[in-house]
Structure 1
């Protein structure tokens, strides 16, 4: 008589993606042979591994389906099912001589995909149960993985949103509005911004751009923004901020070639003048019916590149009712209608002039309007680069 192990070997097929890998856990060779015959009768493509004890089964769980007898030499009943499921078993079909609805309900409740009684099963029923069990388990696994992926995405978005700053401006006669889009699948990009009111009533505003727009750049941008706010809140002189931030950049960047550009404004307590600092960054725009770029004679070098240069302030006067826009290059480097033509600095100036001429509302509304207009010209979301616009204005109560 052919043994169950020999029969199992004859039923093994050549490696085929459509073959179902089955682990048969059965201590009775006669019952094991009957299972093999049922599978042959059903003409189902299978690869069968046969073991006689639960301990042996735990070492062979890399399969698609387990056919489990609940009367094994080393384990009997539902505890056997619970143990094999806890060990990471895939779809489990209980195939046992124990009859009765209560046993079946208990097995399914414990995690089995199906419950079959040996004396009542035939090849067609067994094959159908195996196929359904495998598909149900795969759907369950897919659903769980989708849920985990959704939860991870939500957690990542919450974390990134928490890293986006809230301008810390209270009693100063300055209003701050921000519009921001990350050029990646996330909330946070390499562009960053912040605004802090000093104890003397002056307001310091920064916009920065870490080269690149992946997760490493996003993390570095968040680090630099946090370092900048910490330095400002601890009373560091504005002119000293850049050298200290460069030290942070050189310590935290993933590659030695990564650099960062910055623009910073320190607005006087009376909001009638400001000191402008540039570190390789595009200069701000003075908004109005005819918008114009601020002068750039005091442009400094970028942070992170060993080139000559310093960071010096240029004093600018601010007339009553002034409005300024700071931004990153992802705004004016957007292409037009899918072509290779870019909006450019002149195009951005036209967009800002038109919007500023017809919109004297809150700075946040104007900042969002700029990004919406650029997006409309681009023809889709701005996904090629991060984009940030920060609009500053004299508070209306101060202007009046």
Structure 2
């Protein structure tokens, strides 16, 4: 809703506006245009803040209602008692707020320290001057710079930090963490700067520097060949832009630190390639839900043992995102240590259950884990389960079997019970371990419809007799087609195939 000023006749009967001078001075001080008050004798008696920034100027009448303040056109309004108000009229220049409104979204969209600094230089050269350099301190006593000229030519490089005794104004601006402040840079100081920075400013009428503020070290060096784009409001425009630019740079650096921390966390959580076991092929499909981290609550591991067997696990931590990923790392690292000293899957699940409960986490997990070992022919797969979807075996002879391994959720109750079962895989048989991200995938057009167990069995029945790689490929294609472009929960699939042994 737009509020419009009411005409005087619309005021309530008897209402009066304050008449004291202090009230009107406060009101006029917020007016953007310069305003001057002239007494009946023609003497200048007062100017608002914008007028004071304009500096001493002669008031010259042209007509009863128009005049000039210096060389600038002004409107004259006759006031009671012979006083007159002179208002310098808008000379058609672009207003700072219009430029800042356009610059804000561009700064927000910039990515990284480099990208943000480059955008700052481009915006500054497009409106605040004919040449702009962004200077940021970096390592080993150097300044990194990004430049842009009125022709759009951009540059980037590094220079040695200029000593304060040679360039005190620029040096102070780069290190000033307070609010942005525009400062004129003497020609002698510009000449003392490295040639890569100094030469582009040759022939400029005015050179200035403005600090960023926002607790951000760095500055923008501006060169102008002609008249200021924003006239009297040039300084205001430059300082407001520098403040917004400093905030954008601070955000970019904060985001970069978060990305670095995220990459460090991911490096400790990402699954490792599966172990190589004679007579076994392992095929994987690992696809976390979208998020900041490239890992999620679902996980797998295939770790080698000294006796030539492998420890395998597929699990699902309740929830998703960073908190689930952190607990995933804790569970994986705990199991990686436990399997070195314990081979019984039920015991490992019991110990993990106690660990999660004693840790105070309100999240639980479902897991299926065990060992894969070579037999006289094929593989023996021994699995224990804690509330996880049942493993499925694709028999080369033409059927899909479910391995019944009952067990309760891990991390919920101290009385949890777990079971274990062993199944034999002949050459060409495939055992599939998976998380419920497969069966609970939601349809791309009807979000209430899940992929479900029936579709999973249908896909797998068509894959009987195929190698593990083909089984995983077909399952992945079926689920992705079902999902379309819609989001999904974390997915982890591990296929174990009995393969010919090396001779």
TM-score by length of 2: 0.57
Cα distance in 2, alignment partners of residues 106 and 13 from structure 1: 26
User: Does structure 1 retain, via aligned residues, the 8 Å contact 2:274–2:282?
Assistant: no
Which residue is equivalent to 1:234? 341
- Greater strand content: 2
Bigger relative contact order, structure 1 or 2 (CA pairs below 8 A, ≥6 apart): 1
How far did 1:8 drift? 9.8
Which residue is equivalent to 2:190? 102
Structure number with greater Rg is 2
How far did 1:100 drift? 6.7
Which residue is equivalent to 1:391? 495
Match status 1:217 vs 2:324 = yes
How far did 1:145 drift? 3.2
1:111 aligned to which of 210, 219, 223: 219
Which residue is equivalent to 2:452? 344
Aligned length: 342
Match status 1:13 vs 2:30 = yes
How far did 1:157 drift? 4.2
Cα distance in 2, alignment partners of residues 380 and 288 from structure 1: 33
**Greater mean deviation of Cα atoms: 156-165 or 279-288:** 156-165
For residues 213 and 100 of structure 1, do their structure 2 counterparts lie closer, same or farther at Cα, with a shift above 3 Å needed? same
User: Does structure 2 retain, via aligned residues, the 8 Å contact 1:203–1:269?
Assistant: no
Which residue is equivalent to 1:135? 241
Post-superposition Cα deviations, 1:273-315, rounded to whole Å, max 9, x if no partner, equal 222211110011112575524231x411111122744222112
Q: Secondary structure at the match of 2:311?
A: strand
For residues 386 and 124 of structure 1, do their structure 2 counterparts lie closer, same or farther at Cα, with a shift above 3 Å needed? closer
1:283 aligned to which of 390, 394, 408: 390
Q: Secondary structure at the match of 1:300?
A: coil
How far did 1:112 drift? 4.3
Which residue is equivalent to 2:461? 353
How far did 1:325 drift? 1.0
Match status 1:183 vs 2:289 = yes
Cα distance in 1, alignment partners of residues 222 and 476 from structure 2: 56
Which residue is equivalent to 1:37? 54
Q: Secondary structure at the match of 2:385?
A: strand
User: Does structure 1 retain, via aligned residues, the 8 Å contact 2:308–2:373?
Assistant: yes
For residues 86 and 11 of structure 1, do their structure 2 counterparts lie closer, same or farther at Cα, with a shift above 3 Å needed? farther
Which residue is equivalent to 1:267? 372
Post-superposition Cα deviations, 1:113-170, rounded to whole Å, max 9, x if no partner, equal 5479xxx988953423532553365356436634653664365246415422224523
Structure 1: 5+ residue runs without aligned partners? 1-5, 20-29, 47-74
Structure 2: 5+ residue runs without aligned partners? 1-22, 34-46, 56-71, 73-86, 98-163, 192-205, 212-217
Post-superposition Cα deviations, 1:301-342, rounded to whole Å, max 9, x if no partner, equal 111122744222112222222211110001111122331111
Match status 1:244 vs 2:351 = yes
Cα distance in 2, alignment partners of residues 124 and 335 from structure 1: 56
How far did 1:354 drift? 2.6
Which residue is equivalent to 2:3? none
Cα distance in 2, alignment partners of residues 135 and 112 from structure 1: 10
Which residue is equivalent to 2:482? 377
Post-superposition Cα deviations, 1:83-113, rounded to whole Å, max 9, x if no partner, equal 46534235432258x6778386584798245
User: Does structure 2 retain, via aligned residues, the 8 Å contact 1:177–1:392?
Assistant: yes
Post-superposition Cα deviations, 1:361-399, rounded to whole Å, max 9, x if no partner, equal xx4564354223201112225x3411111111123336x
User: Does structure 2 retain, via aligned residues, the 8 Å contact 1:287–1:324?
Assistant: yes
Alignment of 1:186-205 (within 5 A): 186-205=293-312
- Give the RMSD, CA atoms, in angstroms: 4.2
Cα distance in 2, alignment partners of residues 86 and 35 from structure 1: 30
TM-score by length of 1: 0.70
